[in-house]
Amino acid sequence: MRTRARRAGAGEDSDWILDGSKMWITNGSIADVAIVWAQTEGGIRGFVVPTDSPGFSASVVKHKMSLRASITSELVLEGVRLPASAVLGDVTGLKGPLSCLNEARYGIVWGSLGAARDSLGTALSYAGDREQFGKPISGFQMTQNKLAQMSVELTNGMLLALHLGRRKDLGTLRPEQVSMGKLNNVTKSIEIAREARTILGANGISLEYPVIRHMNNLESVLTYEGTPEMHTLVVGQALTGIAAFR
């Protein structure tokens, strides 16, 4: 985290000055406010930054082949001056951003499965309509194997998400459990979408069907809110007690 915030004066009520940049920020070019985490002398703090502040600029990241329906931006902060009231609550350190990430990651545990469910549904319907050698391709054992495996993984993912949700309701959900859910459900959802794509044959690469869109969008979901490697390391640390991040 290279973005830095420093006090403009000596007092607790003095303004903050922010300098730095953030890549790959969803909706950064259309948002009215940006939540920016920055290094300060006292550790990481969060700031509410109105995007019309002098020194703030945002440019759209072009050439995306994934999540094309949402705008992704680079934010640049050059001497952005904010009042003392712009800093977020009492949270200092990585705990602030990680507590936000934990919520977003939990949402992805479910959201990724929506793409998988639609991919399976599309493949099932297509395989029932498409005929080869005088019968629907859903009647061939190899297609049924694909559909059955996809269904098993989707059900596993749903049960994992449901279990995590129940722990969340009880207030006992731990971050490494969310990591396990994000890691498993996104990875399996991509596999399901890719398998569904094969069942559609050439139509699998057409935007007339939703499957290749889900596949490409899941590539972003795989990376953001923690890559598979990061979540693997979170689970690894929880199991062994040894951090292998660096």
Relative to beta strand 131-132, strand 135-136 is: antiparallel
Half-sphere exposure of 88 (CA within 13 A, CB side): 20
Widest pairwise Cα distance in the chain: 82
Of 136 and 175, CB closest to ligand FAD:
175
Tell me if 29 contacts ligand FAD by CB under 6 A. Answer: no
Least separation in angstroms between residue 220's CB and ligand FAD is 4
Q: Is 78 in the site for ligand FAD (CB under 6 A)?
A: no
Which of 48, 67, 124, 235 forms a contact with ligand FAD (CB under 6 A)? Answer: 67
How many chain residues touch ligand FAD (CB under 6 A)? 13
Least separation in angstroms between residue 222's CB and ligand FAD is: 9
Q: Is 201 left (phi over 0), alpha (psi -120 to 50) or beta?
A: left
- The vertex-116 CA angle with 196 and 31, nearest 5°, equals 125
Is position 133 an interface residue for ligand FAD (rule: CB under 6 A)?
no
Q: Measured in whole angstroms, how far is the alpha carbon of residue 102 from the centre of its chain?
A: 11
Alpha-carbon gap, residue 157 to 109, rounded angstroms: 8
Of the residues 34, 44, 72, 150, which one makes contact with ligand FAD according to CB under 6 A: 72
Catalytic residue of the set 41, 191, 225, 229: 225
Q: Which residues of 182-215 are buried (b: 16+ CB within 10 A; e: fewer)?
A: bbbbbbbbbbbbbbbbebbeeebeeeebbbbbbb
Question: Closest distance between ligand FAD and the C-beta of residue 231, in Å?
Answer: 9
Asked if 225 is an active-site residue, the reply is yes
- Helix boundaries (H) for the chain: 95-129, 141-170, 175-199, 211-223, 228-240
What is the spatial distance between Cα 219 and Cα 207, in angstroms, rounded to a whole number? Answer: 16
Give me the 204-243 binding string for ligand FAD, x by CB under 6 A, dash otherwise: ----------------x--xx--x-xx-------------
Comparing CB distances to ligand FAD, the nearer of 24 and 140 is 24
- Which is nearer to ligand FAD, 76 or 230 (by Cβ)? 230
The correct pick among 26, 99, 144, 149 for binding ligand FAD (CB under 6 A) is 26
List CB contacts of 109: < 8 A, sequence separation 6 or more. Answer: 160, 161, 164, 178, 181, 182, 185
Which of these segments, 21-29, 116-124, 152-160, 164-172, binds ligand FAD (CB under 6 A)? 21-29
Counting contacts by CB under 6 A, is residue 49 touching ligand FAD? Answer: no
Which residues form the interface with ligand FAD (CB under 6 A)?
24-26, 67, 72, 220, 223-224, 227, 229-230, 245-246
Please list the active-site residues. Answer: 225
